[in-house]
Amino acid sequence: MRGVGLHPWPWKTALLLFALCVFLLGSKLDFSGYVHADEPNKVHQITQDKYNFNHPLLMLNSVRLYAHLAGISDNYDRVIRAGRWSSVIFAALAVALLVLVTGRLHGVFIAVAAGTFVLTTPLFFELAHYFKEDPSLLFGVGLSLVAMQVYGEKPSHLRAALLGAACGVAASGKYAGLMVLPFAVYAVVAAHRARDLGTLVFFALGVFTLINLPMLSVPELWKSRVDLEVSRLQAPPLRNPRSIPHGVYFAIFRDQASPVILGLIAVYVASIWRRKFRLSPVEWSLLLLPAIYIAVLSFIPTTSDRYILPVSVLLACVAAAGLGPLLGLKHGKYWAGLLVAASVAWQSPRLYAENLAFSSRRHDEVLAFIEAKLPPSAVVLADNYQSLAPRQEENPTLKQRPLEPNETLDTLRQSGVTHLLITSKRYPIFTPDNRKTSGLSPGEDEKMRELYAEIFSRCRLVFEWQEGAKKQLAPEFRLYELPKNQP
């Protein structure tokens, strides 16, 4: 059934964009399994068949199921590839779902524009390569929006159940997915079917419980995980506290979006003003969900670029809808096509750099240098914040553990260490101009600062790998040789 003013569901377009996303996002997933601090932890949970429940189970369960079926659950490298492929599939499904809902509302042209804008968002392109929960969150949000549109066209208990189930999936992708539930409730209320609210909530809780049952079956564990997430949002105090609310995420979004995207968002807002804000629940959701999301983020002291991903993706769809008024003009499709092409051209250099960065083999380069250039008697202590995987586990040359506050160069040398490999992922925390605290006690913090100062002043720099365009994929490494004698 097709509602008044609605367009046919663009199934073929969604399928084509899904295939394009899989092709483009899955082309370079064979980079080191140790470039991202979070990936090894997730892989070990699957290979050791023991969850710590610090990560969403929609993502982990999907990879774990595949790993068991494929018989690779004890292979680190193959599991991490499977994890990255799960992110690619979730991201591609999210694009397809958003294409479906924007095409239903505004037509095929805008559906294609929405998919193009999302796919060419640099942050989306980057995060779809990692074994991370962000793509599964986007999948849950996209699924909820499609279910909301389906319900709105012909409300029923069955469709309310499907909408609730989609909300449960979104919340299982990441706790932030709970933000779709109030919009789903609004969709039910707007349809004047309050009797469907119970069905909606029941199925939302039911699906969330089903996916997260291993964690929810132990109340103490569930509470500890929630407490952990809250503590992460609160974050340790900053050395130079930022004001609350802050504009960090607005700046991140502005940097991620092309000028075309920003301009089209303004056009869309102006167009709904002329429509006297007569929007369907799905249209309100596409517009207000990212607005509320970024407002909430502005009250959280913890900052990370990836937190802004749902905002960037949903506002890309809003920007595509901003092409609507142009399509009604003579040669409107021509000019709209030029705007889409201009946005792609603006993002192309960043996307090219992102894609090139995934070709980095920095960790292999560092290991090869250590093996080839240092004598067999050398013992290298590597800060394991950015892990290096020894090619031979029995090789005693490379040891990995964090430097400790009670250590000095003398005690390190006495323990047999001849070289230190440090990375910019950790030591800047102990420099005078850093914004974040180390999480150590004041006394231990001071000792760590003294240790790093001692390293820089007394140790000989053997080799330095400069930071690449993407710090995550090509971090700075410094290899120091400890002094042999007391000064």
pLDDT tens for residues 81-109? 999 999 999 999 999 999 999 999 999 99
The H-or-E segment that residue 104 falls in is helix 76-106
Which range (24-33, 35-44, 75-84, 213-222) has the least confidence? 213-222
Average pLDDT over residues 255-277: 90
- pLDDT reported for residue 392: 45
Confidence label for 72 from pLDDT (cuts 50, 70 and 90): confident
- pLDDT reported for residue 437: 67
Find the angle CA(61)-CA(63)-CA(67) to the nearest 5 degrees. Answer: 115
Confidence label for 1 from pLDDT (cuts 50, 70 and 90): very low
From the number of C-beta atoms within 10 Å of its C-beta (0-12, 13-18, 19+), residue 57 rates as buried
For 433, residues 6+ apart whose C-beta sits below 8 A from its C-beta are none
Angstrom distance (rounded) from CA 356 to CA 229? 33
Average pLDDT over residues 292-320: 90
DSSP conformation letters of 466-484: ---SSTTTS--EEEEEPPS
- pLDDT reported for residue 182: 95
Average pLDDT over residues 134-163: 96
- pLDDT reported for residue 42: 86
Top-confidence residue, 188 or 364: 188
- pLDDT reported for residue 378: 87
- pLDDT reported for residue 196: 93
Question: Do 184 and 148 meet the contact criterion of CB atoms below 8 Å apart?
Answer: yes
How far is the CA of 177 from the CAs of 197, 293, 380, 385, in angstroms? 18, 10, 43, 29
- pLDDT reported for residue 389: 66
- pLDDT reported for residue 407: 86
Say whether 132 sits in a helix, a strand or coil.
coil
Q: Is 90 exceeded by the pLDDT of residue 315?
A: yes
Average pLDDT over residues 300-309: 84
Confidence label for 248 from pLDDT (cuts 50, 70 and 90): confident
DSSP conformation letters of 37-56: TTHHHHHHHHHTT---S-S-
For 162, residues 6+ apart whose C-beta sits below 8 A from its C-beta are 147, 150, 151, 203
Tell me phi and psi for residue 422, to 5 degrees.
-115, 155
Confidence label for 331 from pLDDT (cuts 50, 70 and 90): confident
Average pLDDT over residues 24-44: 83
Top-confidence residue, 25 or 33: 25
Question: Do 140 and 36 meet the contact criterion of CB atoms below 8 Å apart?
Answer: no
Helix axes 57-70, 39-47, angle to 10 degrees: 50
pLDDT tens for residues 418-434? 998 888 777 777 776 66
The H-or-E segment that residue 224 falls in is helix 219-234
CB-side neighbour CA atoms (13 Å) of 227: 6
pLDDT tens for residues 177-230? 899 999 999 999 999 999 999 999 999 999 999 998 877 777 776 666 666 666
Q: Is 90 exceeded by the pLDDT of residue 268?
A: yes
The mean pLDDT of the chain is: 86
Burial code of 124-148, b = ≥16 C-beta within 10 A, e = fewer? bbbbbbbbbbbbbbbbbbbbbbbbb
- pLDDT reported for residue 210: 92
Structure tokens at 426: 């950790």
How far is the CA of 435 from the CAs of 73, 239, 431, in angstroms? 40, 5, 9
- pLDDT reported for residue 49: 77
